[in-house]
Amino acid sequence: MTYEDARDELIAIVARLEAGQATLDESLGLWERGEALAARCQELLDGAGERIAAVRGEDDDMADAGVVGVVPADGDDE
């Protein structure tokens, strides 16, 4: 499940819970699903943060080595 899919489903669940029309059992099920979706979103955000940190670390290493810029693999320098 992508971050966007999990987020959208979580938003829909919150809206249903806030509407107050669900039974207690339905609300508990929605809450449990919402907790799982929130955990998935956090997992994906943490992974994205780690990827950004890794790229920044690589960029710092290149700057330390005197590399000023990097040309993308497709050869386009813009």
Q: What is the pLDDT of residues 20-52, one digit of tens each?
A: 999 999 999 999 999 999 999 999 999 999 999
For the ranges 8-17, 18-27, 29-38, 59-68, the lowest mean pLDDT is seen at: 59-68
H/E stretch holding 48 reads: helix 24-64
Closest CA to 36 of 1, 71, 73, 74: 1
- The rounded distance, in Å, linking the Cα atoms of 59 and 69 is 9
Q: Are 17 and 31 in contact (CB under 8 A)?
A: yes
- The rounded distance, in Å, linking the Cα atoms of 19 and 33 is 17
- The rounded distance, in Å, linking the Cα atoms of 68 and 57 is 15
Please determine, for residue 15, whether its predicted confidence score (pLDDT) is greater than 90.
yes
